[in-house]
Homo-oligomer: A and B are copies of this chain.
Amino acid sequence: MPHYLRGAMSLSKKGVVNISSHGLAEYLGMVPWQIRKDFSYFGDFGKPGVGYCLSTLEGHIRRILKLNRDHQVALVGVGNLGCALLAYPGFSKYGLKITAAFDIDQEKVDQTISGVKVRRFETIKQIEQEGLNLGIIAVPEGAAQEVADALVQCGIRGIMNFSSRQISVPRNVKVIAIDIAMDLARLPYYVPAG
């Protein structure tokens, strides 16, 4: 569904108002019946003979993904990757915003990066009062589990983990893991020459 939301927003910006499952499939590199099946699982979004209205489609998907309101995100680890995430402009279109940043390095603490003041990791408990519900781990792998534990302690139930270490969390916490090096390492398998 996030993929469909991205496509819907992208097509809307191009001025498209209605689109058929065939047109959307072509745009996303899929097959039409896959899209119809996926949408039908959540309800009847389209009109026979017309297709899907992109704005109502976007609204439906945002509601399904709980993106119909803003989400505040806590970032732990303000290294190269952390800084890049703080500066990244792409979060806003999903209503996501990094509103708290933490690091263990005293040199970084109290700096303001992309409008967010870096705080001591030891003070992370404060975010319990600040209405955050998502966290990003952008620390070296050795610290990943400790950070994950701290985030869970603060009531965070959704974590994006950029470290190359698998973290273990309670069953009611959802983790999305992105291991950039491992992902890049998938490519050579597909390239012919070697």
Contact = CB atoms under 8 A, between A and B. Distances in A.
A66 B185 CA distance: 9
B191 A96 contact: no
A71 interface: yes
Contacts of A168: 29
Number of copies: 2
B94 A134 contact: no
Categorize the interface residue count of chain A: 35 or more
Interface in A67-88: 67, 69, 71, 73, 79-81, 83-85, 87-88
A14 to B, nearest CB: 12
A187 B6 contact: no
Interface string A7-22: 1001000000000000
B87 A80 contact: yes
A119 to B, nearest CB: 20
Contacts of A107: none
16 contacts: A6-B182, A7-B166, A29-B166, A65-B185, A65-B186, A80-B83, A88-B181, A90-B181, A91-B184, A93-B181, A96-B184, A96-B185, A136-B184, A157-B193, A176-B184, A178-B183
Interface of A: 1-3, 5-7, 10, 28-29, 64-67, 69, 71, 73, 79-81, 83-85, 87-88, 90-91, 93-94, 96, 133-134, 136, 157-160, 164-166, 168, 172, 174, 176, 178-194
